[in-house]
Amino acid sequence: MRKKLLSIGLIIMLIGSLAACSNVNKQIVKNSETGKTAQASKNNDPNKVAEKQAFKMDTTVSLKIYGSDADEALDAAMKRIDEIEQMSSSTIDTSDVCKINQAAGKQYVKVHPEVVKMIKTAIKYSELTSGDFDITVGPLIKLWGIGTEKERVPSDAEIKAVLPLIGYKNISINDADCSVKLMKEGMSIDLGGIGKGFTNDEILKVIKPYNITGALINLGGSSILAYGKKPDGSLWSVGIQHPREERNQGFLGIIRMPEKALSTSGDYERYFIKDGKRYHHILNPFTGYPADAGVISDSIVIDSSVPDCNMLADLLTKVTFVSGVEKGMKIIDSIPGVACIAETSDFKVYKSSAWKLQIDNLSKDFTMAN
């Protein structure tokens, strides 16, 4: 059985050399947690760079920040990641999400405002997509166990037994005291399809007050934040993972972009193969099975001027995946400032009407459908 876990859906390619940066009084700054090193110069050097990789939020995160306050901004970003993970993880028993799930069908649970914001946003887009995006798929996630040692193909009877527990309309929020209740016992929510994007929005808030010139924050490929500029003034260059190549071994293509939010989802990120069939982690809330609408990967790009752009990009990649190209693109086109490309199982690439970015070095395996 072949398995890929925690795959980074987007490969960051910082094309262009940092040779133009000042060579004067450079030192090596070593991150104490990961041992990863970064080139830096004097504290007043705007091209100073601090970077870190770590395992957070059940994935590999990679942060690279430029500017004279890069070290301080990096520390603030990592602290914010930890704070959000502690409140929103579905695998940390003390998190708000776990407390909500444990009290399902029984009582309201007071939670952090950040968690309420994520849940409210999820409900809004569940309504917009007629339920194709739904954070109450927790029971299905547990049943399939994809990405864990317990992954398996459940029986039809098992899936049918938990489907009545799926439904965003059974989430109740009390704004007066910032509390949440799941109305049916056995329900559970999972913010994995929205949490990393929300985290990147929060990272941007905490690093902007520092004296920095640019940043590229990659939260496992589910959410990539491009802020400011590279030291040489060029656009950020990002390689999108080829959905049928080994990780980091092939690109669908390369896009160059200014400040934007970027998210990619694919059936290659977490999956297992049983009897020649691929079972991946993006589940259809209506059937209980992995989404099978012909999409094998998709990417969302949203301009940084759109509020909560990273959170929206994160969740909207799941919409096209579940809805399919035709319905999914109609939904995407109805949201201002949002653009999408989707790759299908017949190796075609579809673009939404708002997609304007050039895709360079498109893989010869794929053809543009529109």
Instruction: Provide the domain count of the chain.
Output: 2
What DSSP assignment string belongs to 83-106? HHHHHH-SS-TTSHHHHHHHTTTT
Rounded mean pLDDT, 44-64: 92
Q: Is 138 part of a structural domain of the chain?
A: yes
Q: Does residue 160 share a domain with residue 238?
A: no
Alpha carbon separation from 27 to 48, 279, 337, 362 (Å, rounded): 10, 47, 41, 38
Q: Does residue 252 share a domain with residue 122?
A: no
Identify whether the C-beta of residue 268 lies closer than 8 Å to the C-beta of residue 135: no
Q: Does residue 151 share a domain with residue 247?
A: no
pLDDT tops 80 at residue 295 = yes
Q: Does residue 105 share a domain with residue 168?
A: yes
Q: Does residue 354 share a domain with residue 248?
A: yes
H-only helix segments in the chain: 70-88, 96-102, 113-128, 138-144, 156-162, 195-207, 309-323, 325-333
pLDDT at 147: 92
Task: Please report the beta strands in 166-244, taking only residues with DSSP state E, as ranges in sequence order.
Answer: 171-174, 179-182, 214-219, 223-228, 236-241
pLDDT at 231: 87
Give residue-wise pLDDT tens across range 266-283. 999 999 999 999 999 999
Rounded mean pLDDT, 339-345: 98
Q: Does residue 274 share a domain with residue 354?
A: yes
Band of pLDDT at residue 53, cut at 50, 70 and 90: very high
Q: Is 269 part of a structural domain of the chain?
A: yes
CA 303, 309, 314, 315 torsion-angle sign: negative
pLDDT tops 80 at residue 155 = yes
pLDDT at 25: 33
Rounded percentage of the chain residues whose pLDDT exceeds 90: 82
Q: Does residue 158 share a domain with residue 263?
A: no
The CATH number assigned to the domain holding 172 equals 1.10.3980.10
pLDDT at 274: 95
Q: Does residue 119 share a domain with residue 7?
A: no
pLDDT at 330: 97
Q: Which of 118, 147, 182 is the last residue of a domain?
A: 182
pLDDT tops 60 at residue 171 = yes
Q: Does residue 139 share a domain with residue 9?
A: no
pLDDT at 255: 94
Rounded mean pLDDT, 329-358: 96
Give residue-wise pLDDT tens across range 12-33. 444 333 333 333 333 333 343 3
What is the Cα–Cα distance from 114 to 97, expressed in whole angstroms?
11
Q: Is 224 part of a structural domain of the chain?
A: no
Q: Which of 182, 200, 219 is the last residue of a domain?
A: 182
Give residue-wise pLDDT tens across range 199-250. 999 999 999 999 999 999 999 888 999 999 888 888 999 999 999 997 767 8
Q: What does the H/E/C string look like for 129-144?
A: CCCCCCCCCHHHHHHH
Give the CB-side neighbour count of residue 127, counting CA atoms within 13 A. Answer: 8
Q: Is 304 part of a structural domain of the chain?
A: yes
pLDDT tops 80 at residue 184 = yes
Q: Is 193 part of a structural domain of the chain?
A: no
Q: Does residue 178 share a domain with residue 106?
A: yes
Segment among 1-10, 85-94, 103-112 with least mean pLDDT: 1-10
Q: Does residue 358 share a domain with residue 296?
A: yes
Q: Is 221 part of a structural domain of the chain?
A: no
pLDDT tops 60 at residue 119 = yes
What is the Cα–Cα distance from 209 to 30, expressed in whole angstroms?
23
Exposure class string for 269-282: b at 16+ Cβ within 10 A, else e: bbbbeeeeeebbbb
The CATH number assigned to the domain holding 303 equals 3.10.520.10
Average pLDDT, whole number, for the chain?
Answer: 89
What is the Cα–Cα distance from 71 to 84, expressed in whole angstroms?
20
Q: Which of 182, 213, 247 is the last residue of a domain?
A: 182
Range of the domain at 6: 1-16+234-370
Alpha carbon separation from 300 to 67, 242, 317, 355 (Å, rounded): 28, 16, 6, 9
Q: SS3 for 296? A: strand
Band of pLDDT at residue 6, cut at 50, 70 and 90: very low
Band of pLDDT at residue 43, cut at 50, 70 and 90: low
pLDDT at 221: 80
Q: Is 51 part of a structural domain of the chain?
A: no
Q: Is 215 part of a structural domain of the chain?
A: no
What is the Cα–Cα distance from 317 to 329, expressed in whole angstroms?
11
Band of pLDDT at residue 40, cut at 50, 70 and 90: very low
Q: Does residue 255 share a domain with residue 174?
A: no
Structure tokens at 298: 């998709």
